[in-house]
Amino acid sequence: MTLAVSDTPSPEPALHVARCSKSFQGPGQEKVRAVDDVSFTVPAGQIVALLGSNGAGKSTLLSMVAGGTLPDEGRIHVSGADLTELPSWKRVGHLRLVRQNPEYSVFPALTIEENFALAAASTRRRPKMRRAELREEATKLLEPFGLNLESRLSALAGSLSGGQRQAVAVAIAMLAGTGLLLLDEHVAALDPRSARLVSDQTEQGLRATGASALMVTHDMTHALERSDRILMMHRGQLVLDISGPDKDDLDAPALIRRFETETGGRVSDRELLS
């Protein structure tokens, strides 16, 4: 099924995806519709978790928002700007992507400070920050992680652990002040302690700045705890949109049952949904 959503963007939402579709060539030369006529709006300040079984289309959808993949049909607006035709590097001033692999989240050959400076230069909010101001901002954003990174601004990012790199990446995303963060399984590759730390500070930073987030995850508990709203995909379509008291009353098994009821069958890849 396709959820009924207006094609007209509301005034300045953080994200509006309007009837977007994407197809790829399958192994037998057949067309595979990875995303099928998907529409939804993320209001400013909302944290949205995007769930679905393996191959449901969530990674393709996130890539379309990030600009790594352009939609075959539909439009994508971020804070009122139509980004549909823009490649990823031209979207940096509008949104930030924190990837799953910590090695890709920062530039390893640059120092922590240089990574912050590069992000500041590409943002529309404060592209010409003085060094003292930049260091002050970096310190303020890194201190809550409790990893002492604020005293290591001259260290190469490549010398940091995975958890430390993700902490820097999240802090940089907050510095950019873009209003929309895309979180692509950003704690999935971390050890449990680091994952909890980065997850905690990501949510706190989003709440403090009023930024919005679209968060792809396979962890239902994480999604239920950290998001305001859950979108679930199946075979390229949105099949569930849950928020408010309806979401608050759910646990992971109940969410799986809702998914199975909506799709008319059992979850075929349960380990990827739990």
23 three-class SS: strand
What pLDDT sits at residue 170?
Answer: 93
Percent of the chain with pLDDT over 70: 89
Residue 40 above 80 pLDDT? yes
Query: What sign does the CA torsion over 53, 56, 61, 63 have?
Result: positive
| CB distance 173 to 96 below 8 Å | yes
User: Where does residue 104 fall: left (phi above 0), alpha (psi -120 to 50 degrees), or beta otherwise?
Assistant: alpha
pLDDT of residue 270: 47
| pLDDT for res 22 | 96
Residue 265's pLDDT band (cuts 50, 70, 90) = low
Q: What pLDDT digit, counting tens, does each position of 94-128 carry?
A: 899 999 988 888 999 999 999 999 888 877 556 67
Task: Tell me what pLDDT residue 238 has.
Answer: 95
Which of 99-113, 154-168, 196-210, 260-274 has the lowest average pLDDT? Answer: 260-274
**Residues 230 and 242 sit within 8 Å (Cβ to Cβ):** yes
| Residue 75 host element (H or E) | strand 73-78
Compute the chain's Rg from CA coordinates. 19
pLDDT digits (tens, 9 = 90+) for 56-103: 999 999 999 999 999 999 999 999 999 999 999 899 888 999 999 888
Percent share of the chain, pLDDT over 90: 66
Phi, psi of 250 (to 5 degrees): -95, 150
| Residues 50 and 61 sit within 8 Å (Cβ to Cβ) | yes
* 26 burial type by CB count under 10 A (0-12 exposed, 13-18 middle, 19+ buried): exposed
Cβ neighbourhood burial of 29 (10 Å; 0-12, 13-18, 19+): exposed
- Other Cβ atoms closer than 10 A to 93: 16
Nearest residue to 18 via CA among 33, 29, 8:
8
Domain residue spans of the chain: 15-103+179-273
168 vs 114: CA distance, rounded Å: 11
pTM over 0.75: yes
Residue 175 pLDDT grade (very low, low, confident, very high; cuts 50, 70, 90): confident
Reported residue count of the chain is: 274
Backbone angles phi, psi at 255, to 5 degrees: -65, -40
**Domain 15-103+179-273 annotated CATH 3.30.2130.30:** no
Please report the pLDDT score of residue 182 as a whole number: 96
Residue 160 gets which letter from DSSP?
Answer: S
Residue 149: how many other CB atoms lie within 10 Å: 21
pLDDT the model gives residue 127: 60
Region 12-41: what's the mean pLDDT? 90
